Amino acid sequence: MFSLTLFAETMDYKINVIRPRYFVKKNRLELASEAHMVMNETFTYTLMFSAMTAYHLTEYLAFGLDAVLGVNFNKADNKTLRKDYGINIGTSHTRYNLNASIMWSPVYGKYQLSSGRLIYFDTFFSAGGGYSNISIKEPSEDKNNNKDTFIHLDCVAASMGAGQRFYLNKHVSLRWQIRNIIVHIDQADKTCTPGPAENSTMERYLYHTIMFQAGASYFI
């Protein structure tokens, strides 16, 4: 087998411009861990952590499973509204997700640093579904009463996302992703009943959890 290699020379070093694929994913298992920040919550902070495994069927297609667990904190505005103005905001956040997805990686490329080193990367898109647990706070009307009622909903969820991997060597990559977890919530009775509302189009809505994720993965 012969391969064509093109060389670009400078005064100090020589760079292979055309090379065989550096990182091969086909028939390999990827193990990953990521930290998540939920970006679309006004009055709370939600931080989440995940573990993921994916099997790469080809260089372009993979099947993955992941589990995500979150913790929630009130923002200062939420506390100020309650303490100073007696306004108790009803909030909601995702507690955890279990998700299965298909990942498609159509773009593979490289970036050359000023030192001459090449950084290899790919871009991927994901779509899937699974199970999501949503916590909805039912605010107390008494501003001095801090014991709010929380309703926990078990929902069928859909997901979609896009991200990139940057390969440090032939086993380790750094990765980031933006992902949206979508569930259908009935505002009136606080359930995750799918389908159109019977009496009002305003009673049921799509609840979005938009997350920025960053972490690392290891390929076996």
pLDDT at 80: 78
Nearest C-alpha neighbor of 33 from the set 54, 46, 47, 50:
50
pLDDT at 210: 94
d(CA 110, CA 125): 18
Tell me the sheet residues that pair with 164.
123, 176
What is the set of domains in the chain, with CATH numbers? 28-219 (2.40.160.20)
Residue 15, classified by CB atoms within 10 Å of its CB into exposed (0-12), middle (13-18) or buried (19+), is: middle
Task: Give the residue ranges of the chain where pLDDT is below 50.
Answer: 1-11, 200-202
pTM (whole model) above 0.85: no
pLDDT at 161: 97
pLDDT at 22: 78
pLDDT at 49: 96
